[in-house]
């Protein structure tokens, strides 16, 4: 329901000219996250112990026989590796025990294997391996990949009555359909993917298609990929694809964008994806050159909602702008540099979501940029709790939380940009992406923070404590007042936190005032609730004020009102303050005629006529909503005003 509501709202916000074509801003972020969050719901915590830690994968040759009409795979996987330590006498790998290992060859010799869990098996070698020496094994296997709960890593469907098979292994699913390592500390340096399928079908995969030919009733496709790749990104899709190629200029050279699409959708795919090259150019300028420029980028259509950033060939349900931008951005964030732990999924999804927003900043004359920020901020603040950091990596739905890992993660980056400035922020990101110790390897959050702190010449420990590990967000109540005596602007900022894990969100708060056709923005360095600021007269009479016009802050505004500076109005104290059930005030030697209480947005919430003289007045506020309120008392000699917070 939330997805539909957001979609209809966006349709109302789109310009009329967009009605005759696809809408550039169709927010699929929830759909992407929802798809990924349904994976492997049967994942067991015991599976956190990974295999193959004593070998380094150097090269893998995949040979698969796949008929998309049949839920079945037959394969031969040849691993070339080096022992990381001396004396390795067995190799431990992963393949779901529901599959059948037919044989294992080592130098032409048959080896035995044994399972020691539902998915982990050990290959006993005839002799111990020498450290650092290249060696290999060939594993022949077949079976029906386990579907699991929800959907698994091996998918099958139909489009226009034609079958399709695709694979999708993030985060833990490679073991369901091919034998190997399934970790976040070793990438295969290079792979070849060879697929034999009925001649009517084509196979889409990584890198460059070096050969494709029909032999009898079968088509054999050979894809070659010469970049390091993590196991969860290895993928193949097989159906009756139509193929078209577009081109992008990367570092002065032409690079193909190869698209494998359903024939019935090919015309629409060509039209909708025509600006992919422009998006690549934007990311090149922001993050550095496309990381796999020696080969290609591409899309392969599949029948699952959202998309998946399979290296050099993203799998896509459709070709909307935000889906293409999101999956393409993973080429830098997730594929070139891969998260070292699922605790830090933000390094993949937060960056890809924010990169999508940056395309709206630079394309379509920037029209959708403010809409994207609004929608992303509202999505991130749609609940009072939750951190960007993933505490429990056995909870797949939490890893791929749209609100936290995607939307809140993206806004964390947006606030960092605001705090650091564009030059330092983008320098830091480019340095992170190009760091030779991280490029085509794995990174932790601390690796990113180190580059951010260096570029900005600052420390960011408190920022990440609040916004990455902490939960919730701030809600502001703001009062803006112009003094009649000297025209100066007085601003008071009150803040509440939606979750007790963060004591206070210290931040720079922008307030813009307007009057007589002019405007002025003030930056308030806010560190405690009730903090007051005095700014020089702006040279015009205040008539309105706005909070965070450019939407830099992951926050919500409760109220903003213009205060009263009237020589006839005097201040009074309201106590207790903050209060939960009752407030009281006392005005000596005054005949109080009427008391009104206004919410901070100016709505009258309480009114009472009275005849009090020299008596304390108590008011029950038990039913008031939380927030800041203004109390005004009318007397025969003038008006009195005080403020209080209902907690």
Range of the domain at 526: 474-562
Domain C-terminal end among 189, 223, 240? 240
pLDDT at 38 over 60: no
Q: Is omega for the bond preceding 294 within 30 degrees of 0, making it cis?
A: no
What is the spatial distance between Cα 359 and Cα 177, in angstroms, rounded to a whole number? 36
CA angle, 242 then 246 then 248, to 5°: 155
Residues 31 and 119 in one domain: no
Residue 539 pLDDT level (bands cut at 50, 70, 90): very high
Residues 223 and 89 in one domain: yes
Residues 232 and 376 in one domain: no
Domain count of the chain?
4
Check: CB of residue 324 under 8 Å from CB of residue 331.
Answer: no
What is the spatial distance between Cα 638 and Cα 24, in angstroms, rounded to a whole number? 57
pLDDT, average across residues 184-200:
98
Q: What is the H or E stretch that residue 610 is in? A: strand 604-613
Could you tell me if residue 86 is inside a domain?
Answer: yes
Could you tell me if residue 606 is inside a domain?
Answer: yes
Q: Residue 135's closest CA among 65, 239, 55?
A: 55
Interval 123-164: pLDDT, tens: 999 999 999 999 999 999 999 998 754 446 999 999 999 999
pLDDT at 12 over 60: no
Please give the residue that has the higher pLDDT: either 3 or 201: 201
Could you tell me if residue 281 is inside a domain?
Answer: no
Q: Specify the pLDDT at position 150.
A: 40
Could you tell me if residue 271 is inside a domain?
Answer: no
What is the spatial distance between Cα 225 and Cα 189, in angstroms, rounded to a whole number? 9
Residues 341 and 394 in one domain: yes
Domain C-terminal end among 544, 562, 580? 562
CA 164 to chain centroid, in Å, comes to 29
Domain C-terminal end among 435, 453, 469? 469
User: Would you state the torsion angle of the CA atoms of residues 613, 618, 619, 620, taken in this order, to the nearest 10 degrees?
Assistant: -160
pLDDT, average across residues 630-638:
83
Residues 486 and 435 in one domain: no
Residues 22 and 53 in one domain: no
SS (H, E, C) 475-502: EEEEEEEECCCCCCEEEEEEEEECCCCC
Residues 67 and 154 in one domain: yes
Q: Specify the pLDDT at position 588.
A: 85
CA 234 to chain centroid, in Å, comes to 21
In this structure, the chain runs to a length of 647
Check: CB of residue 123 under 8 Å from CB of residue 116.
Answer: no
Could you tell me if residue 319 is inside a domain?
Answer: no
**Exposed/middle/buried for residue 218 (C-beta within 10 Å: 0-12, 13-18, 19+):** middle
Structure tokens at 511: 């307030």
Could you tell me if residue 42 is inside a domain?
Answer: no
CATH code where residue 112 lies: 2.60.40.1730
Interval 554-573: pLDDT, tens: 999 887 877 655 445 677 88
Check: CB of residue 245 under 8 Å from CB of residue 258.
Answer: yes
Residues 218 and 78 in one domain: yes
**Exposed/middle/buried for residue 569 (C-beta within 10 Å: 0-12, 13-18, 19+):** middle
Residue 289 pLDDT level (bands cut at 50, 70, 90): very high
Q: Specify the pLDDT at position 148.
A: 52
Residues 363 and 220 in one domain: no
Mean model confidence pLDDT for the chain = 90
pLDDT at 205 over 70: yes
Q: Specify the pLDDT at position 23.
A: 63
Q: Specify the pLDDT at position 601.
A: 58
Q: What are phi and psi of 515, to 5 degrees?
A: 175, 140
Q: Specify the pLDDT at position 615.
A: 83
State the pTM of this model.
0.85
pLDDT at 600 over 80: no
Could you tell me if residue 431 is inside a domain?
Answer: yes
Q: Specify the pLDDT at position 573.
A: 86
pLDDT, average across residues 194-208:
98
**Percent of the chain residues topping a pLDDT of 70:** 91
Residues 57 and 205 in one domain: yes
pLDDT at 77 over 60: yes
Q: Specify the pLDDT at position 47.
A: 45
CATH code where residue 483 lies: 2.60.40.1840
Residue 15 pLDDT level (bands cut at 50, 70, 90): very low
User: Residues 6 or more apart from 193 whose CB is under 8 A from it?
Assistant: 62, 64, 203, 205, 206, 207, 222, 223, 224, 225, 234, 236
CATH code where residue 427 lies: 1.10.390.10
pLDDT at 406 over 70: yes
Residues 530 and 615 in one domain: no
CATH code where residue 642 lies: 2.60.40.10
Interval 229-288: pLDDT, tens: 999 999 999 999 999 999 999 999 999 999 999 999 999 999 999 999 999 999 999 999
What is the spatial distance between Cα 438 and Cα 428, in angstroms, rounded to a whole number? 14
CA angle, 496 then 502 then 505, to 5°: 60
What is the spatial distance between Cα 296 and Cα 111, in angstroms, rounded to a whole number? 38
Q: Residue 68's closest CA among 169, 158, 175, 153?
A: 158
Of the ranges 199-208, 486-495, 509-518, 604-613, which one carries the lowest mean pLDDT score? 604-613
pLDDT at 339 over 90: yes
Residues 112 and 230 in one domain: yes
Could you tell me if residue 182 is inside a domain?
Answer: yes
């Amino acid at each position: 329901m939330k997805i539909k509501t957001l979609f209809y709202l966006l349709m109302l916000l789109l310009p009329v000219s967009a009605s005759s074509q696809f809408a550039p801003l169709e927010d699929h972020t929830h759909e992407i996250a929802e798809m990924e969050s349904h994976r492997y719901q049967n994942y067991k915590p015991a599976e956190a112990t990974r295999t193959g830690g004593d070998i380094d994968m150097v090269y893998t040759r995949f040979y698969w026989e796949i008929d998309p009409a049949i839920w079945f795979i037959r394969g031969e996987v040849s691993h070339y590796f080096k022992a990381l330590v001396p004396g390795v006498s067995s190799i431990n790998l992963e393949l779901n025990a529901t599959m059948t290992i037919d044989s294992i060859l080592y130098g032409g010799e048959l080896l035995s294997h044994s399972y020691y869990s539902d998915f982990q098996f050990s290959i006993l070698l005839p002799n111990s391996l020498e450290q650092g020496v290249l060696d290999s094994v060939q594993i022949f296997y077949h079976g029906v990949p386990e579907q699991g709960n929800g959907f698994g890593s091996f998918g099958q469907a139909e489009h226009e009555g034609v079958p399709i098979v695709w694979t999708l292994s993030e985060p833990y699913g490679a073991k369901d359909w091919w034998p190997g390592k399934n970790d976040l500390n070793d990438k295969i340096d290079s792979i070849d993917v060879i697929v034999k399928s009925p001649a009517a079908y084509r196979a889409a995969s990584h890198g460059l298609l070096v050969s494709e030919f029909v032999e009898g009733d079968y088509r054999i496709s050979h894809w070659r990929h010469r970049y390091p790749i993590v196991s969860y990104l290895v993928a193949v899709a097989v159906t009756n694809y139509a193929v078209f190629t577009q081109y992008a200029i990367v570092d002065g050279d032409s690079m193909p964008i190869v698209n494998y699409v359903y024939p019935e959708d090919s015309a629409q795919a060509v039209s909708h994806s025509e600006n992919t090259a422009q998006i690549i150019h934007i990311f090149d300028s922001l993050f550095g050159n496309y990381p796999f420029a020696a080969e290609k980028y591409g899309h392969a259509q599949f029948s699952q909602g959202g998309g998946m950033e399979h290296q050099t060939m993203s799998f896509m349900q459709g070709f909307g702008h935000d889906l293409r931008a999101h999956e393409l951005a993973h080429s830098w964030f997730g594929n070139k540099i891969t998260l070292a732990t699922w605790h830090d999924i933000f390094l993949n999804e937060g960056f890809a979501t924010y990169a999508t927003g940056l395309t709206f900043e630079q394309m379509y004359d920037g029209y959708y940029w403010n809409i994207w920020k609004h929608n992303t901020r509202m999505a991130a603040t749609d609940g009072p709790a939750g951190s960007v950091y993933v505490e429990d990596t056995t909870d797949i739905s939490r890893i791929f939380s749209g609100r936290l890992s995607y939307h809140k993660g993206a806004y964390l980056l947006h606030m960092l940009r605001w705090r650091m400035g564009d030059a330092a922020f983008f320098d830091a990101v480019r340095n992170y992406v190009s760091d030779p110790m991280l490029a085509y390897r794995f990174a932790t959050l601390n690796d990113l923070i180190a580059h951010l702190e260096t570029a900005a010449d600052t420390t960011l420990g408190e920022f990440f404590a609040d916004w990455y590990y902490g939960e919730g967000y701030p809600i502001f109540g703001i009062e803006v007042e112009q003094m009649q005596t000297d025209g100066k602007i007085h601003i008071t900022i009150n803040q509440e936190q939606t979750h007790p894990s963060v004591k206070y969100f210290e931040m720079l708060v922008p307030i813009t005032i307007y009057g007589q056709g002019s405007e002025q923005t003030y930056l308030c360095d806010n560190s405690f609730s009730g903090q007051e600021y005095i700014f020089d007269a702006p040279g015009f009479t205040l008539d309105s004020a706005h909070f965070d016009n450019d939407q830099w802050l992951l926050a919500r505004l409760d109220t903003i009102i213009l205060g009263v500076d009237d020589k006839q109005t005097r201040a009074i104290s309201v106590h207790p303050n903050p209060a939960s059930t009752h407030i009281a005030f006392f005005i000596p030697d005054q005949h109080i005629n009427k008391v009104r209480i206004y919410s901070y947005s100016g709505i009258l919430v309480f009114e009472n006529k009275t005849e009090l003289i020299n008596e304390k007045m108590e008011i029950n506020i038990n039913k008031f909503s939380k927030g800041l309120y203004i109390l005004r008392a009318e007397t025969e000699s003038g008006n009195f005003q005080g403020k209080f917070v209902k907690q």
